[in-house]
Amino acid sequence: MDGQSKKERSAREKALLEEYSRTRDPRLKAELAERFMPLARSMALRYRGGSESVDDLVQVASLGLVKALDGFDPERGRPFAAYAVPTMLGELRRHFRDHTWNVHLPRGLQERTISVRDAIQELGDKHGTSPTVAQIAERLELSEEEVLDAMEADSARRTVSLDAPRSIDEAQSAPVIETVPDTELGYDAVESQLAAVDAGLDDREKTVLRLRFGKDMTQYEIGQQLGVSQMQISRVMRRALHKLLAAVREEQPVAAAVDDDPQEDARLAVAA
């Protein structure tokens, strides 16, 4: 009974499509739009879960359905659904591309982002689990790097108000702006002092600081390179940092309470 009903419904829709193609009767168009509205809704629901409301997505898909009705030619022998689905999906993609991107991205990246999102939905429905980057890349014939770029662009495409709460789970959550750091003027002061007088650093102190903060080496690695112990590197760094702090505060440097090893000091001086 159900199979017969479906067959009869399909025949009726085919007849209506053929008649509308000949007459362009608005009443037939309205009836066809109503008949195929479940198809439009199913296309819209592919994109649910984002910031766009389902009603808005259904409206966009419905616009695609209307365009498909106007452009469909029954004489080509192609089923209407096979023609309408790409039309509706194209309308949804254009909507996301043109109206929901707060951060401007190149057109190609926008299109790739939407394709990746579609692939994630399709592969998830097919396998019942979230697809891997490799699976998405194979499905779209992209590199894994291109897939990752698209996923990152999709997650970062929306801006957030600085007054918005950091957490929707906390009634008294602090606003986002409180996570934005203030400008630290102390860094400028350090740079200006170093540029002016080098804060009184000697050659070995400059060498150790350059290796530690300029080349991101550990104290152990610096000691290995200069041929001295890690303890001596630590002492030199403490003295140097005391001098920098005093220079920024425009104070006399406080001598670091360390016991230097003359032999290690000599090796450091040679290395510097």
Write out pLDDT tens, residues 94-149: 887 666 555 556 767 777 887 888 888 888 888 888 888 889 989 899 888 888 88
Cα gap 61→51, rounded to integer Å: 16
Q: Structural domain boundaries of the chain? A: 1-100, 102-158, 185-271
Span between the terminal Cα atoms of the chain, in Å:
93
Domain covering 102-158: architecture: Orthogonal Bundle (1.10)
Is the fold of 102-158 the same as that of 185-271? yes
Hey, which of 17-21, 47-51, 168-172, 252-256 has the most confident mean pLDDT? 17-21
Confidence of residue 33 (pLDDT cuts 50, 70, 90): very high
Which of 90-99, 138-147, 204-213, 226-235 has the least mean pLDDT?
Answer: 90-99
Which of 28-32, 240-244, 252-256 has the least mean pLDDT?
Answer: 252-256
Reply yes or no on domain 185-271 having CATH 1.10.3470: no
Across 217-231, average pLDDT: 86
The rounded mean pLDDT for the chain is 77
Sign of the torsion angle spanned by Cα atoms 234, 239, 245, 248: negative
The residue with greater pLDDT, 254 or 49, is 49
Write out pLDDT tens, residues 60-87: 999 999 999 999 999 998 899 999 999 9
Distances in Å between the Cα of 186 and the Cα atoms of 91, 180, 251 are 53, 17, 15
Closest CA to 199 of 268, 138, 248: 248
Reply yes or no on domain 1-100 having CATH 1.20.120.1810: yes
The residue with greater pLDDT, 100 or 36, is 36
- Say yes or no to pLDDT of 243 above 80: yes
Tokens of residue 202, six digits: 């000697």
- Say yes or no to pLDDT of 176 above 60: no
Across 21-36, average pLDDT: 94
Across 29-38, average pLDDT: 94
